[in-house]
Amino acid sequence: MAVKKSARASVRASAKPKRKVSGKAKSKPKAKAGPRSKARQPRAQRKLARPQKPVKPKTRAKKKPAAKVSPLAPQSFPELPAVGGVTLGVAAAGIKYKGRTDLLVARMIEGTQAAGIFTTSKTASAPVDWCRANLADGGEGRMLIVNSGNSNAFTGKAGIATVKATASAAAAAGNCRQRDVFIASTGVIGQPMDPAPLVAGIATALAGAAPDRWDEAARAIMTTDTYPKLATRRVRIGGAEVTINGIAKGSGMIAPDLATMLAFIFTDAAIPSKILQTLLMLGARESFNAITVDSDTSTSDTVMAFATGAAMADETPITRAGDPRLREFRQAFDELMLDLAHQVVKDGEGATKFVRIAVSGAQSHQAARRIAMAIGNSPLVKTAIAGEDANWGRIVMAVGKSGEAADRDRLAIRIGGIDVARSGMAVRGYDEAPVARHMKGREIDIEVDVGVGKSSAVVWTCDLTYEYIRINADYRS
């Protein structure tokens, strides 16, 4: 018996121990592996031996096609002369755009006077609030910082912090007070903006600052604009020759007040801030506040003027807006603002027609303006113009919806100088052919007399095309 027991023990000892199986499942018997079987290879080699899925080649994200320059763009752009006491620098800060400048820094001499008007939006941006406060606090115009790509609007405390950090860096760079720093931003609403690129960009821009970088300055503040907007005038105040230069951006979200734009005007005339403010407000009324592209008012609208006084060191100071020496300056100042405002409309997103709407026979200037804006903002009017359709019935509709007084039976309409309707109905023997020819042109002229008074107003707009929809449907991508 002892011999049998030891034999069984030796058999058990020589047998290969069974592999433990988790749970109740039983392992299946493994097939014998050949000499090159995966079962005998290290795990890493077995993994490599498995058939691999074909790897798709990485494709680069398609870049947006560059926007076509508006067909209404100027044939040439003016070369702006230097303005005494102003130097300009730009930088590619990378705020949103890659490979293009998106930051403008303007530095002005001590004593530069500042004036500004801003959006009436109840959701104004942090930079707008900053500029308003600085003007109220008597700030001089020593530094102007403008970025494109992000409007820093609806960004809460983070937006305020970005403005303060920017102002602090600009004040240090310009050796001035923070209240002498003015800031403007344009671009996407509601996205926090890191101040670091702005702060770094200020130093870069100032390193290359010069008095003649106006074209680059105008390009740095563009968003959906297809061309830079510049204007210049040169006039005399007393015995001094002074220069007025202006740059602007704006293409969509354009409607009073102020339209959606940024505009900056610089002069080496010596004009106190209070008088400059008056001139700016009066000039904007018939320019920046008389245009519309799509009826939408921006959170960031800013129009500022800066007067360095560098060209009038030997002149008696201007002390009132009615000074006869300012007559020529005021006219040129107004012309320059209207020039910039027209350029904004002519670069309206997708625009192919520049439209002038003149309303007369209204009860007041304000009523005439509202009627003209009702016409200029009507999608039906604007699409008819885009389609070169002389559908003047849509103009009648727009007058009626304006809410202002109009005598239906005395209403008169002219398109391209041609009588279309008179005494509340189509003119007898109306021939649409000449009106249709006018509608095919680049510039469309509409005149309406509403027959209830003696007041008038003029506004400017553009047509509404498929391209406007494409641009705005794809704006953030």
Active site residues: 260
Relative orientation angle of helices 126-136 and 156-174, to the nearest 10 degrees = 50
CA 63 vs CA 59, 60, 97, 222: distances in Å: 12, 9, 12, 18
The Cα–Cα gap between 169 and 91 comes to: 15
Find the Cα–Cα–Cα–Cα dihedral 105, 109, 111, 116, rounded to 10°. Answer: -20
- Which among 283, 445, 449, 293 is positioned nearest to 367, based on CA atoms? 449
Residues in Cβ contact with 337 at an 8 Å cutoff, skipping those fewer than 6 apart? 246, 263, 265, 283, 284, 287, 288, 303
The Cα–Cα gap between 38 and 352 comes to: 70
In one-letter notation, the amino acid at residue 445 is D
The tokens describing 178, both together, are 């923070």
The tokens describing 173, both together, are 């760079």
Q: How far is CA 453 from the centre of its chain?
A: 38
- Which among 197, 191, 133 is positioned nearest to 165, based on CA atoms? 197
DSSP 8-state class, residue 259: -
CB hemisphere CA count around 463 (13 angstroms): 25
The tokens describing 134, both together, are 């600085």
CA 167 vs CA 130, 131, 203, 274: distances in Å: 9, 11, 13, 23
The Cα–Cα gap between 313 and 70 comes to: 42
- Which among 170, 167, 158 is positioned nearest to 202, based on CA atoms? 170
The label of the residue with tokens 């720093």 reads 181
The label of the residue with tokens 């003649």 reads 212
Which helix (H) or strand (E) is 412 found in, with range?
strand 412-415
Relative orientation angle of helices 379-386 and 365-377, to the nearest 10 degrees = 60
The tokens describing 113, both together, are 């006077």
Find the Cα–Cα–Cα–Cα dihedral 22, 24, 28, 33, rounded to 10°. Answer: 10
CA 128 vs CA 55, 59, 147, 160, 275: distances in Å: 51, 41, 13, 11, 21
* CA-based max dimension of the chain: 139
